[in-house]
Amino acid sequence: GYMMACQASPGHLMAAPFSMIGSIGVLMETVNFHEVLKKYGVDPIVIKAGKSKAPLKTLGEVTPEELQLAQKDAEVIHEAFRQWVLKARPNVSVSEDWLDKVCTGAVFLGKEAEELGLVDRVVTSDEYIAERIAAGDRVLRLMPYRGPQFGFKLSPLDLLLLGTDAEGRTRLSEKFQLLRSGITRHIAPLFRVGSAVGFLNLMHHLATLQIRPSLTWK
């Protein structure tokens, strides 16, 4: 989320108009079955070392002290999150009003996020790509990698790494030879099956023909 996005270089953090930006907050939750289990005579046994370990339990009883510990942990993480954002966005004019509005876990659409300094620009991905193409940049389209084909285990990353030196290019050539063998091994049976089906169709066609003898009396 925004914890990672805010680390973009200043001036280069962009967002789409209807993207949801922010959510600078911390959420900790669990479901506790202690009272339900107790009602049916089930007594969960929880063993832990360290009073602050796992204050929010699922089966054991959660005491008020443990709830306070969990709340304190959430507040420490929240403060670290806030400082993380402020350090990454030096252009933001921070005030108490700004902190009270932005660092509460609230989310904002693109335009308001820009006004608050959370992003630098509002633009769609299509618009940005069109701009880069018009500027003469080379724009590449990423294609999904569907895994090994015909038993040929070679990823796009392998292609880049193997082509960097002579030894790698030799290994790459060997892998392509394996690819040709794999393709031949998988496709050849298809040709054999196709020939067999064609021959059977021809025999059926000949069997259905009615050949009448031609008799000529002299």
Q: Model confidence at 55, in pLDDT bands (50, 70, 90)? A: confident
3 state DSSP class of 122:
strand
* Residue 218 confidence (pLDDT) above 60: no
CB burial of residue 183 (10 Å; 0-12, 13-18, 19+)? middle
Stretch 14-33: mean pLDDT, rounded? 93
Q: Which amino acid is at 30?
A: T
Q: How far is CA 15 from the centre of its chain?
A: 18
Q: Model confidence at 80, in pLDDT bands (50, 70, 90)? A: very high
What is the rounded distance in angstroms from the CA atom of residue 157 to the CA atom of residue 5? Answer: 25
- Give the HSE-up count for residue 15: Cα atoms under 13 Å, Cβ half-sphere: 25
Stretch 95-115: mean pLDDT, rounded? 91
Q: Model confidence at 188, in pLDDT bands (50, 70, 90)? A: low
Q: Model confidence at 212, in pLDDT bands (50, 70, 90)? A: very low
The larger pLDDT score, comparing residue 185 to residue 33, is at 33
- The whole-number pLDDT of residue 60 equals 87
Lowest mean pLDDT among 29-43, 45-59, 106-120, 132-146: 132-146
- Give the HSE-up count for residue 49: Cα atoms under 13 Å, Cβ half-sphere: 0
Stretch 39-61: mean pLDDT, rounded? 88
What is the rounded distance in angstroms from the CA atom of residue 147 to the CA atom of residue 31? Answer: 39
Beta bridge partners of 21: 108
What is the rounded distance in angstroms from the CA atom of residue 33 to the CA atom of residue 68? Answer: 19
- The whole-number pLDDT of residue 141 equals 78
3 state DSSP class of 169:
helix
The residue length of the chain stands at 218
Q: Which amino acid is at 60?
A: G
The larger pLDDT score, comparing residue 24 to residue 179, is at 24
- The whole-number pLDDT of residue 211 equals 47
Would you say 106 and 118 are in contact if contact means Cβ atoms under 8 Å apart?
A: no
- Residue position matching structure tokens 């050849």: 188
130, two tokens: 């069109």
- Of all residues in the chain, the percent with pLDDT exceeding 90 is 36
